[in-house]
């Protein structure tokens, strides 16, 4: 018996589950992370440009190339481990290096991604992150001192994560070198995979936060346009109520507003959906950290609740408002269309009544014409009959007048009967 045939995508789909493992990082270490987004929609993005940009970096360091059409790749370049991933709307580059060099969060650590190479990227830099990973000091006060030195206290978020395996901190601010900073203090004995997962999650939180915040700009632009359309729509509905203006003109204006609202909905729907998806990922990544409060400071979840959630609610509010205005314009157009149809029905009824009156007049005129035609036909018929019968009645001494007088009633009656019969057959 031949073996059962596998689905052509069986192995590819299973391999996708293991395509992006967390890095394995020994403490101490540092990570450089860059996310680049092309200034086009996901549907129009050319992934070959991203792959070519990666190959340029690999060639600089004499590293191997990924497979054609690859969406993820990792290899050593110099003293760093490079990890490249291609996502729906952006690509990410991660560089992990053992040990610490120079001062904390030294911009020179980001030189694994050269400035001239970044300048030729097919997109724009969406986020750039420096992550510093150290062993946890025995004195908690020393950690607090470092956090005060490295971060802005007003926006600092810090928490124990993964059941106290590490303490993570960051202020979500961009430093003068253009990087966002995160610090990770790891308890001795914590596994390298767990450390790599913490670093990866921090980078993903920042990336998906930035991607979701793109919807805020779109929502603000949409809000300004809706603010302009809302009074126009309200004025048209008011004109419908008061019966001001021609219904056809009002309907055309309503259709124009409805068309513009539908266009806005098409343009905003993708970004709103993407924003909701990225927001869910941010919240999910924070939840997997299993945060616990550190020295009374705000956690990452609390920071997002105060600083990030209002922006997401603004996007959702704009989407809800857009949908409501689309439905409102559609209802108004339907009501006005019904009003126009009712008005046209009344006009058609008047037109039919007018046609009935004209038809009645035509019928009367036709009856009059038929009477005259009977007389005219009878006149000629009497004369013809007289010419036919008079020679026969002349020997009998009947005059022409008597013959004509005798024929006239008979001919008129016959012609009338013939016309009546013809009309009866026609109806």
361 vs 24, more confident: 24
Percent of the chain with pLDDT over 90: 52
Q: What is the pLDDT of residues 371-382, one digit of tens each?
A: 667 677 776 676
Yes or no: say if 282 and 205 are a contact pair by the CB < 8 Å rule.
yes
Residue 81 pLDDT greater than 90, yes or no:
yes
341 vs 86, more confident: 86
- C-alpha distances (whole Å) from 63 to each of 258, 297, 314, 357 are 56, 44, 45, 95
Q: Which residues, other chains included, contact 186 with Cβ-Cβ below 8 Å and sequence gap of 6+?
A: 27, 133, 134, 135, 136, 165, 166, 195, 198
Global pTM reads 0.78
Highest mean pLDDT range out of 18-22, 175-179, 375-379, 416-420?
Answer: 175-179
Rg (CA), the chain: 45
Residue 426 pLDDT greater than 70, yes or no:
no
The verdict on domain 213-350 having CATH code 1.10.3470 is no
Q: What is the pLDDT of residues 186-203, one digit of tens each?
A: 999 999 999 999 999 999
How confident is the model at residue 39, as a pLDDT? 79
Q: Hey, CA dihedral for 368, 372, 377, 381, is it positive or negative? A: positive
Q: What is the pLDDT of residues 254-291, one digit of tens each?
A: 888 888 999 999 889 999 999 999 999 999 999 999 99
77 vs 247, more confident: 77
How confident is the model at residue 381, as a pLDDT? 72
- List the domain boundaries for the chain: 20-191, 213-350, 366-426
Q: How far apart are CA 192 and CA 274, in angstroms?
A: 33
């Amino acid at each position: 018996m031949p073996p059962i045939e596998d689905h052509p995508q069986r192995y590819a789909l299973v391999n996708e589950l293991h395509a992006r493992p967390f890095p394995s990082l020994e403490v101490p270490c540092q990570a450089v992370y860059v996310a680049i987004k092309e200034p086009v929609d996901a549907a129009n993005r050319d992934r070959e440009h991203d792959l070519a940009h990666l190959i340029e970096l690999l060639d600089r360091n004499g590293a191997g190339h990924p497979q054609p059409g690859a969406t993820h790749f990792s290899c050593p370049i110099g003293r760093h481990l490079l990890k490249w991933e291609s996502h729906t709307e952006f690509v990410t580059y991660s560089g992990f290096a053992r040990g610490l060099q120079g001062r904390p969060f030294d911009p020179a650590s980001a030189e694994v991604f050269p400035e001239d190479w970044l300048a030729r990227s097919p997109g724009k830099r969406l986020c750039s992150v420096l992550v510093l990973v150290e062993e946890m000091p025995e004195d908690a006060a020393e950690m607090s001192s470092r956090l005060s030195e490295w971060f802005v206290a007003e926006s600092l978020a810090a928490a124990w994560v993964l059941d106290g395996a590490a303490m993570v901190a960051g202020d979500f601010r961009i430093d003068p070198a253009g990087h966002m900073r995160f610090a990770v203090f790891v308890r001795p004995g914590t596994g390298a995979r767990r450390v790599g997962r913490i670093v990866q999650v921090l980078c993903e939180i920042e990336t998906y936060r930035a991607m979701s915040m793109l919807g805020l700009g779109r929502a603000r632009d949409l809000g300004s346009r809706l603010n302009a359309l809302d009074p126009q729509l309200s004025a048209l509905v008011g004109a419908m109520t008061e019966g001001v203006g021609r219904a056809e003109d009002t309907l055309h204006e309503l259709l124009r507003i409805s068309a513009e609202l539908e266009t806005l909905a098409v343009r905003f729907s993708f970004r709103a959906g993407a924003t909701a998806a990225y927001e869910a990922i941010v919240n999910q990544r924070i939840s997997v950290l299993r945060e616990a409060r550190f020295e009374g400071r705000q956690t990452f979840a609390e920071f997002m609740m105060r600083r990030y959630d209002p922006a997401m609610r603004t996007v959702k509010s704009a989407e809800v408002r857009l949908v409501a205005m689309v439905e409102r314009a559609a209802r108004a157009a339907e009501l006005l269309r019904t009003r126009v149809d009712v008005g046209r029905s009344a006009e058609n009824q008047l037109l039919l009544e007018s046609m009935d009156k004209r038809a009645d007049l035509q019928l009367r005129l036709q009856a009059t014409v038929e009477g005259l035609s009977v007389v005219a036909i009878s006149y000629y018929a009497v004369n013809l009959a007289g010419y036919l019968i008079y020679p026969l009645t002349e020997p009998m001494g009947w005059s022409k007048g008597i013959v004509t007088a005798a024929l006239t009633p008979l001919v008129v009656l016959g012609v009338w009967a013939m016309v009546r019969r013809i009309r009866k057959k026609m109806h």
